[in-house]
Amino acid sequence: MSAELANWAGNLRFRARRVHRPTTLDEVRAVVAGADHIRALGTRHSFSDIADTAADLVSLEDMPPVTTVDARNATVTVAGGVRYAGLARELHAAGFALPNMASLPHISVAGSCATGTHGSGVRNTILAGSVRSLELVTAGGELVTVRRDDPDFAGVPVNLGALGVVTSLTLGVEPAYEVSTTVYLDLPVRAGLDHFRELMSDAHSVCLFTDWGAPVFNQVWVMARTDDPQPKSPGREWFSASPATRDLHPVSTQPAAACTGQRGVPGPWHTRLPHFRPEFTPSSGEELQSEYAVPAGHAVAALEALGEIAGVIHPVLQICEVRTVAADEFWLSPAYGTDVVTIHFTWIPDADPVRRTIRAVEASLEPFRARPHWAKLTEMPPERIRELFPRLADFRALARRYDPGGKFRNDFTDRYLGPATRRGGHGDGGSR
């Protein structure tokens, strides 16, 4: 099948010669075993070329959307192509919940975990933190199960697609709960930074938004679990910010109908933790994105440094979001070994000025060892990125063990993991 595919934002057109859409696990195994080079294609929400290849792509979207809840062990096993929106509905109906969700419920479980995607909250890890085990099809078509007690488990959930095609994951779950979201307006940046740790720890999930056009966080989304022993009472002033009196979109020019419920009205966890409803186009729809994870101890200084170039950022920015993520053990995670604060930029869809601005942002963040998000845009030199992930060499060795012939490699993995000798030449067909 000829591939005429673009990613969600339209900034990347996939070069694949074929896109396989298997409907059974046996078909996945046969497709992988029969390919010279292949990459897994998720929901195409990445802005980087992480899934791009001039060889073959395999999509799991036509696989059965299996979701199996194990109440006794408090886990759910889900097919890799299932999106978080579908998983959440099934899980909630069974009386269970995930500890956190990303801004977008539109993204696949396997792709989100593979790229280190996250939500927010000082006690919440990346989405892959819920993984208890996973199954993947390796280069020869073998089905391999990797469990949390396996020696190399920490190298597997955040895998950049370099180990194989993840066909299912088992996640830890907890009893269902409710969340109330209150949006506060015009928090002075200085007040936010002076009380940063206290502010970001004030609820299950706290997200700050600014367009860097003025020294304020335009919006603060405070998502409080109703079973918290000290739930936030909506309606009062909060760190000198005032509660919104109507529902809002983080990008003020966009309609709030696309967003999840606000104004302190409690609702099921999966209808509050994401910013956007699954039935609407996520975010603004026409945009570019970059994101950086800064060690939590450097967060205030990093935000102050960005404030010094606000005049450069603002003209090409739609919105910037600041979130927190708890430390984890995953070798290629943005939060490997340390709590982090993530600084996310939603840019206008104009590549040249955006890339110039990304370079300015990265120069400002360079002293703070900011790790870029694998699925978003960066201008950072690959050798610098390799320095920021201390277990990257271990991951390279793991990838060689799972995929000795380089079947799953592409330009992206060559760039950031380093090139490798592969059977049959370059995994992207030598097209670059």
Q: Which amino acid is at 171?
A: L
Does residue 221 fall inside a structural domain? yes
**Pair 206, 324: CB distance under 8 Å:** yes
Q: What is the pLDDT of residue 250?
A: 95
In this structure, is residue 345 part of a structural domain?
Answer: yes
pTM (predicted TM-score): 0.94
Average pLDDT over residues 236-259: 90
Residue 182: predicted pLDDT: 95
Q: What does the pLDDT average to over 297-303?
A: 98
Domain extent, residue 326, equals 179-269+286-384
Residue 341 forms part of a structural domain: yes
Query: How sure is the predictor about 284, in pLDDT bands with cuts at 50, 70 and 90?
Result: low
- pLDDT score, position 3: 44
Residue 110 covered by a domain: no
57-73 pLDDT tens trace = 999 999 999 999 999 99
Instruction: Answer whether residue 25 is part of any domain.
Output: no
Taking residues 22-26, report their average pLDDT.
98
pLDDT digits (tens, 9 = 90+) for 193-236: 999 999 999 999 999 999 999 999 999 999 999 998 765 555 56
Residue 1, pLDDT score: 40
Report the CATH number that the domain containing residue 346 is assigned in CATH: 3.30.70.2520
396/164 Cα distance (integer angstroms): 14
Q: Residue 293 — pLDDT band, cuts 50, 70, 90? A: very high
The residue among 163, 141, 132, 144 whose CA lies nearest residue 22 is: 141
Q: How many separate domains does the chain show?
A: 1
- CA-closest candidate to residue 260, choices 103, 126, 90, 88: 103
State the DSSP code for 382.
H
List, for residues 377-409, the tens digit of each pLDDT value.
999 999 999 999 999 999 999 999 999 999 999
Burial degree of 198 (CB within 10 A; 0-12, 13-18, 19+): exposed
Q: Where do we find the tokens 């002075």?
A: 188
User: What confidence score (pLDDT) does residue 286 get?
Assistant: 82
213 assigned to some structural domain: yes
pLDDT at 228: 84
Average pLDDT over residues 29-51: 96
Query: What's 285's DSSP letter?
Result: S
Region 74-79: mean pLDDT is 98
Classify residue 122: in a domain, yes or no: no
Q: What are 99-128's pLDDT values in tens digits?
A: 999 999 999 999 999 999 999 999 999 999
What is the Cα gyration radius of the chain? Answer: 21
308 occurs within a structural domain: yes
Give the pLDDT score at 428.
55
